[in-house]
Amino acid sequence: MAGILRPRKIEPGCLRRWARNGRDLWQRRPGLLLLNALTIFGVSALVPRILGVPLLLEIPLSALFFVELRALDQGGRGDWATIWALFQGNLKDIAYLTRDAFVFLFFIVLLLFLSSDVVHAGASVAHTAAVLSPLQQLTQNLLPWLGNALFSGVGWASLLASPVSGPLLFLTLLLGHALRMHLYTAFQGAFLNQKITIALLCLNILIGPLVGSLSLVLLPLLGHTMTGILLEILTIGLLQVLITVDYLWSREMFEGTTENAPSTLKSSSAVKEEVPLTVASMAGPPAMGSHPAKGSLL
């Protein structure tokens, strides 16, 4: 059975603190940022937007980025041996979380599809759908792969901007899969840190309209293709910022850690583990109010 971590209130000055810590972590292995950007672009461009199919890769990849930050955070230099060992150690829990998110989204879409036959508003829905948002208009005029990358990237960023997504992923990696308990804990943390929650919710709602509005400004100056490329670069950058903020916020809220561990010359992968390496095995001392997971190395 997974352990329980009680969320705590974030200390003032968190934005400056997270900016400093995030910059310090990625400076330890800057090549990872470029590799992550290429991965995000490739997945967003190639994965079809059918039901919840993008979630099947977006959630595991977000978990992989969290694992990279964890490896960098614990004094190592983020070598692939450590990152891959950490990812493998949590692969089953990541798969369970991905499955639950996909099933939930599938049934939501199915319910909306069935309810559209019940509600006598088909004509007005069709008329409303005919009026496309600026972002949809832009993606329809781009090369298929670029339009798909931009639209999917905005959706991925909206997912990570949810005040619950980051803490849920962090808790799953740290304590194992326990969806209902982790959702309850994540919502507790969201209510405890209302200012951060409101800021993330506003970003979650406004990402699409903001990108669409920016496209209206850039289109007359740059044309469709260059506008799409520039907005895709900005979206990928926003995604990596959100991943970093989600990790640092969750780390501080659940572990009480406000600063990175000092960088060391030796990689943590040089030490052979007798059991699979997991995110939990790289945690510091248990935070007050926490209970170690059964069988974990907390």
Question: What pLDDT, on a 0 to 100 scale, did the predictor assign at position 130?
Answer: 42
Angle at 25 between CA 19 and CA 198, to 5 degrees: 35
Q: Is 287 left (phi over 0), alpha (psi -120 to 50) or beta?
A: beta
CB neighbour class for 2 (10 Å; exposed up to 12, middle 13-18, buried from 19): buried
pLDDT tens, residue by residue, 259-281: 888 876 454 444 334 334 565 55
Cα separation of 97 and 56, whole Å? 10
Cα separation of 115 and 175, whole Å? 38
pLDDT tens, residue by residue, 121-145: 444 443 344 456 888 888 888 888 9
CB neighbour class for 133 (10 Å; exposed up to 12, middle 13-18, buried from 19): middle
What pTM, to 2 d.p., does this model score? 0.83
Any idea which residue has 């209510």 for tokens?
Answer: 191
pLDDT tens, residue by residue, 223-239: 889 999 999 999 999 99
Residue 243 pLDDT class (50, 70, 90 cuts): very high
Q: How many CA atoms lie within 13 A of 59 on its CB side?
A: 24
Least confident of 1-15, 26-40, 215-229: 1-15
CB 173 within 8 A of CB 90: yes
What are the structure tokens assigned to 189, written together?
A: 């943390």
Backbone angles phi, psi at 140, to 5 degrees: -70, -20
DSSP-assigned letter for residue 10: P
